[in-house]
Chain A
C-alpha cells in the first residue's frame, strides 16, 4: 500500500483522485507518502517553508470518512497540494516571503482558493517558499534561502512562485498554487519544466492572499499535466463577493472541453519583440511547438516594449505604495534586492503611473483587434533556461542585462492586459534544462489555451517529468 501510494504521489492528481475514489488506496496513505517524500527530498530543493503534517492527516481522514459513508469524496480526493506562502493558511502568519510579515498574527481562515480545492477533496500539505513580497523572478530569498531547480540544484527555480515550481517538479506534490503579477507562475513553470496556468485577470478570486500589485495580480495552478491543471482550475472557478470582479463572468468548466479538436484554430507565432533578446534555444522551443501545431503565421503585437515598460512602472509604484509603512518603520528587514526597488518606486511621479495605466487601455484595444484574426498566439516564456543561483546578469544580442527583472521580459507584456496563458514545458535535448512556451488566448478563453496545451502533451511535445533527486 505504501509503495503504491508513493508511486501515486509522483503521478498525476487525477490518478490519485481516481484511486482514492475507488478505494484502491486511502487518502491517508497518499498523504503519509507525500509527507515522507517531502521529509526526504525537500532539504535538497527548499520548496517548503511550512509542512502541515497534522492538518493534512486530519483532512485526509475526513476524505476517507466521506468515501466510507458512500459520499462522493471529490474530483481531487486525497490530492496533496501546497500553496505559495502569500496565500492565507489558517494558523500560519502569511509571510509572503518576508521577514516582517512572518511576525504578523496567524491567518484566521484559509484563502478562498484553498477552501475551494479542499471542498473538492484536495488536502493542503504545506506552504511554499517565494521571492520576498513577490517582487522577483529568480526564486531566491534572503530570509529562507533559494528554492532550487529540482532538475539542476545549483540553478534557479524561477520566481516568484519558486517553491511552487520546485515542489511540483520534484514530485513532492502534484499540484501547487502560485501568483503571477508579471510572470511569477509562468517563469518558474518554464525553468522547472512543468505546466502552469495564469488565468484571465479577474477569473479566480484572490481573497485571502497577500497582494503585490492589485491591478496586475493573478492566482493560478501549477501541475505536471494539463488535465491536472484543468481539474484544479475548474474546482477554483466561481464568483466571490469578496472580490467583485470575479462576479462578472460565468465559470466555464474546461475539463469536458479539454480534448476538443484544435486543428481548426488559427494559431500564430508572436514575432518582433518576442523574437529578440533571448538565447537561440528558447526560440527553437517556440518553433518546435509551432511545427507540431502547423502554425506558420507570424503576427506582431504593437508596442510590446512599451507595454512591458508600462507594467514595470505600475509595478514599481503600486508595489512601493503597499509597503510605504514598512519601508518607513523597518527598511533594514527587507531583502536588499527588493528594498532598493521599493524605495525607488515610492518616489516616482503620479503622472508616470497614470500614463502607464492609460497606455494599458490602448494596448488592450490593439491586442483585442489582433484576436479578431487569430485564436491563439505562441510566445517564448523566458529569455534563457534557468540561470545559476546567484547569477546577476546575462547577455543577449550583445547587451548585458540584470537577471532579476529581465527573466520576465516575455511574460510581463501579456499579463499586463490580463490575457490567459498556459505555460507548456519543452525539453529540446536529453540532459539539458527545460524551457517554456506560452500558449496565449483572448480574455476568458482559458479553455482554448488548455486545449492546445493538452494536444501538445498528448503528442509528446510538452511534458513534465519528475526530477531525479
Chain B
C-alpha cells in the first residue's frame, strides 16, 4: 500500500505556486496572492479526495476524442 499523500504546509504551497508560475511564465500581483493560494488549497483538497480512492489500473481516462 502506498504511503499517504503528504499535506503541504502553507509555506510549501506558496513555494510550489511560485515555481509553477515561473514554469508557465505567469506573474501575479502581490495583492492577488492570498486569493490564488486559497484556490490552490481548495483544488488540492479536491485532488486529495480523488487520489485517495483506490482506482484499478485497468480504468482508462474519459476525456473526449473521436477519430
Chain B residues with Cβ below 8 Å from A340 are 32, 35-36, 38-39
Q: Which residue numbers of B lie inside 8 Å of A, CB to CB?
A: 16-17, 20-21, 24-29, 32, 35-40, 42-47, 49-51, 53, 55-56, 59-64, 66
User: Which listed segment binds B: A113-121, A221-229, A293-301, A349-357?
Assistant: A349-357
Looking at chain B's contact residues, is the secondary structure mostly helix, strand, loop, or mixed?
helix
Q: Which residues of A contact B60 (CB under 8 A)?
A: 358, 361
Give the chain A neighbours of B16 by CB distance below 8 A: 347
List residues of chain B with CB within 8 A of the CB of A324.
24, 26
Interface hits, A301-322 → B, CB 8 Å: 303, 305-306, 308-310, 312-313, 316
Contacting residue for B39 out of A310, A344, A352, CB 8 A? A344
Interchain residue pairs A-B with the least CB separation, the first 10: A344-B39, A347-B20, A340-B35, A309-B46, A357-B61, A361-B62, A352-B47, A309-B49, A244-B66, A312-B46
Residue among B20, B25, B28, B53 facing the most chain A CB atoms (10 A cut-off): B53
A245 touches B66 (CB 8 A): yes
Given contacts A344-B39, A345-B39, A352-B47, contact A362 B32 (CB under 8 A): no
When C-beta atoms are compared, the residue in chain B nearest to A365 turns out to be B59
Are A313 and B46 CB-contacts (below 8 A) given A344-B36, A346-B20, A359-B55? yes
Complex interface: chain A residues within 8 A of B24 (CB): 324, 328, 346-347
Interface footprint category on A:
35 or more
A44 at the interface (CB under 8 A from B): no
CB pair B50–A309 under 8 Å, yes or no, is yes
* Residues of chain A with a CB closer than 8 A to B38's CB: 340, 344
What distance in Å separates the Cβ of A121 from its nearest Cβ neighbour in chain B?
32
The CA of A364 and the CA of B42, in the complex, are separated in Å by 24
Q: A215 to chain B: which residues have CB within 8 Å?
A: 62-64
Contacts A215-B64, A328-B25, A361-B61 known; A355 to B50 CB distance under 8 Å? yes
A316 to B27, CA, bound (A): 18
Across-interface contacts of A327 in B (CB, < 8 A): 26
Is the CB–CB distance between A405 and B42 below 8 Å? yes
Q: Bound state CA distance, A359 and B56, in angstroms?
A: 10
The CA of A154 and the CA of B50, in the complex, are separated in Å by: 37
Alpha-carbon distance A215/B62, docked complex (angstroms): 9
A310 and B50 form a contact (CB under 8 A): yes
User: Which of B43, B51, B64 is close to A316, meaning CB atoms less than 8 Å apart?
Assistant: B43
B63 cross-chain contacts in A, Cβ below 8 A: 215, 357
CB–CB A336/B59 < 8 A? no
Apart from A308-B46, A346-B21, A358-B61, 6 more pairs, CB < 8 Å: A331-B26, A336-B35, A343-B36, A346-B20, A356-B50, A361-B59
Residues of B within 8 A of A361 (CB): 59-62
Partner of A343, one of B28, B55, B61: B28
Neighbouring B residues of A303 by C-beta, 8 Å: 53
Q: Are the CB atoms of A356 and B47 closer together than 8 Å?
A: yes
Q: Given A346-B24, A347-B21, A359 and B50 touching (CB < 8 A)?
A: yes
Cβ contacts A215-248/B at 8 Å (1 or 0 each): 1000000000000000000000000000011011
A contact set with B: CB distance below 8 Å: 202, 214-215, 244-245, 247-248, 303, 305-306, 308-310, 312-313, 316, 324, 327-328, 331-332, 336, 339-341, 343-348, 352, 354-362, 364, 405
Nearest neighbor of A312 in chain B, beta-carbon distance: B46
Residues on A with C-beta less than 8 A from B64 are: 202, 214-215, 245
- Collect the chain A residues with CB atoms within 8 Å of residue B61's CB: 354, 357-358, 360-361
Pair A341/B51 contact, Cβ less than 8 Å: no
Query: Which residues of B lie under 8 Å from residue A344 when comparing CB positions?
Result: 17, 36-40, 42-43
Q: Is there contact, CB below 8 Å, between B50 and A313?
A: yes
* Closest CB in chain B relative to A204 CB, distance in Å: 14
Task: Looking at the assembled complex, report how far the CB atom of A293 sits from the nearest CB atom of chain B, in whole angstroms.
Answer: 31
Are A345 and B43 interface neighbours, CB within 8 A? yes
Question: Which chain A residue shows the least CB distance to B48?
Answer: A309
CA distance A364 to B61 in the complex (A): 11
Looking across the interface, which residue of chain B has its beta carbon closest to that of A327?
Answer: B26
Tell me which residues across on chain B come within 8 A of A328, comparing CB atoms: 24-26
Contacts of A345 in B (CB 8 A): 39, 43
Closest A residue to B21 by beta carbon equals A347
User: Once the chains bind, are B66 and A248 in contact (CB under 8 Å)?
Assistant: yes
Cβ-defined contact, B32 with A339, below 8 A = yes
A2→B44 CA distance, assembly (Å): 57
Some 28 contacts from A to B, beta carbons below 8 A apart, are A215-B62, A244-B66, A245-B64, A303-B53, A306-B49, A306-B53, A309-B46, A309-B49, A313-B47, A316-B39, A316-B43, A324-B26, A340-B32, A340-B35, A343-B28, A343-B36, A344-B17, A344-B37, A344-B39, A347-B21, A348-B20, A348-B44, A352-B50, A354-B61, A356-B50, A358-B59, A358-B61, A362-B53
